[in-house]
Each structure stands twice: as structure tokens, then as C-alpha cells.
A and B are shown apart, each in its own frame.
Chain A
Amino acid sequence: MLILSRKTNESIVIDGRIVVKIVRVEGEVVKIGIEAPSDVPVHRQEVYDEIQRANKEALTRTGQPLPKLRQNQNPAEALQPN
């Protein structure tokens, strides 16, 4: 892994088209600005990892019995993470 030291407002250019800028450092939190072309997906690693895991768990085979959904749900039902 390449390791570089940068100060606030300094940047790194990757492949001539992706710019990673250190916007702010507050204690243990580093705010980073990323400029990348729209064909370069950028994700937080942990979100990427958990969605990737969920996809792998969800992959299944067609033709199996499917559950029936309950009708008339309460619209106020929370959709937040537990």
C-alpha cells in the first residue's frame, strides 16, 4: 500500500482523473472530498462490504415457494435499522 502524508486542503490525483482531497481533520475523523468520473463507483468500505454480503446471501434459485406478504400494513411502520 502506498502511504502519503497530506495536510488539510492538499490532494492526491489517481490515474489523472480521480482527485482525493483532505477537507478537514477533526480528532480521529478525516473529511475527504472525492472527485471522480461518474463511471467510477465510490463507496464507504463498510457499506460496500455489507451490501456485497447481503447480495451473496440473497442469491437463490428460481422456482421455489415464495412467502405471501401481509396486506394493509401500517404506513407508519419504521424502516430504520434495528
Chain B
Amino acid sequence: MNSELLIDEAETESAEHTAIRLPFGLLGFEKIKRYVLIPAPEAAPFSWLQMAGDPSLAFLVIAPEEVLPNYFPEISQDDVNYLDLSNPDDAAILNIVTLHPGGQATVNLKGPIVYNRNTLVGKQVVLVNAADYALKYSLPLAT
């Protein structure tokens, strides 16, 4: 590997990789608190949320505003305080996607990951209006 390539890779990493800390982990993965968010190459709007300790393990996530125009997640005041979200633009939302055998993909709209764009601290929250949304909403796929 030549040194020029190494430099390129390092620059790409700092530009596109976002280290996110989830002090509570994800539900069922409470002990894993450090993740790296990486846009999926050639598969926008998907991104990978990789476990920092084991980059081969990851969650596929999407930013809902790109694909779900009528999704209005309501975050509890406790979560707003915890994440220190002083205005709505501070909040970045990621919904976890499940790939099913047969090519179907569903997205969890009840329990998104919300993180503060400034502090990069996040939490998987249960939305106040979780009852309005599906746990496994089928993403409309191109046929």
C-alpha cells in the first residue's frame, strides 16, 4: 500500500465518519456505547452504525427526513433534557433498518436513535407518539 493512499483514507475517515456515543447503549445492547456512523457507499440514504469495538457488526440506519416525509417523532422532555437539545436543529434522528430474508426491508419508527449534532451523544428513545408508528414499517423498495 502506498503512502498517498493511506493519507486519502485518513482524510475520508475524518470527513465522513462520525463517532457517536450512546451512554445507555441500544436496547438489548446496553454495554456497547461507542459507535461510528458511516454513510453506506453507493446506497444513500442508508448509513451503517458500526460498533466501534467490532466494525464488522453494525446496524443499518436511515435518516427519516429523506424517506418518510410524514414522520413526526415526538421526543419526551426528559430525553430532550438528557440530550441537551436546545433547539430542534440540534437533534439528528436515525431509524434502524432490518433486512429480511427475501429482500424486504423494514424500519423501526417507534424507537429511533436521537443524537445531538453538537455533542454527538445519543440515545435510543421511545417516542411519546410511538403508538402512531410501526415497529416494522416496510420501506418502499425499487422493483
Q: If the complex has contacts A41-B24, A54-B98, A79-B133, are A60 and B58 also in contact, measured as CB distance less than 8 A?
A: yes
Q: Is A6 an interface residue (CB 8 A)?
A: no
Q: Is B142 an interface residue (CB 8 A)?
A: yes
Q: Which of A47, A56, A76, A77 contacts B130 (CB 8 A)?
A: A47
Q: If the complex has contacts A38-B81, A55-B27, A57-B98, are A67 and B67 also in contact, measured as CB distance less than 8 A?
A: no
Residues 32 to 77 of chain A near chain B (Cβ within 8 Å): 38-39, 41, 43-44, 47-48, 50-64, 66-71, 73, 75-77
Nearest A residue to B77 by beta-carbon distance?
A38
Please determine whether B59 and A60 come into contact, CB atoms closer than 8 angstroms. yes
Tell me the minimal C-beta distance from B87 to chain A in angstroms: 19
Q: If the complex has contacts A54-B98, A55-B29, are A38 and B142 also in contact, measured as CB distance less than 8 A?
A: no
Q: If the complex has contacts A60-B58, A73-B69, A73-B140, are A55 and B40 also in contact, measured as CB distance less than 8 A?
A: no
Q: How many B residues face the partner with a CB closer than 8 A? A: 50
Q: Is A82 an interface residue (CB 8 A)?
A: yes
Q: How many A residues face the partner with a CB closer than 8 A? A: 36
Please determine whether A54 and B108 come into contact, CB atoms closer than 8 angstroms. yes
Please determine whether A47 and B126 come into contact, CB atoms closer than 8 angstroms. yes
Please determine whether A58 and B57 come into contact, CB atoms closer than 8 angstroms. no
Flag A4-43 by CB within 8 Å of B: 1 or 0 each.
0000000000000000000000000000000000110101
Q: How far is the CA of A25 from the CA of B70 in the complex (A)?
A: 36
Tell me the minimal C-beta distance from B27 to chain A in angstroms: 4
Nearest B residue to A38 by beta-carbon distance?
B82
Residues on B facing A (Cβ under 8 Å): 24, 26-29, 40, 43, 45-46, 48, 50, 55-60, 67-71, 78, 81-82, 96-99, 103, 105, 108-111, 124, 126, 130-137, 139-143
Residues on A facing B (Cβ under 8 Å): 38-39, 41, 43-44, 47-48, 50-64, 66-71, 73, 75-77, 79-82
Contacts A/B (CB < 8 Å), 11 sampled: A38-B82, A39-B82, A47-B126, A48-B27, A51-B27, A54-B98, A58-B59, A59-B57, A62-B58, A68-B141, A70-B142
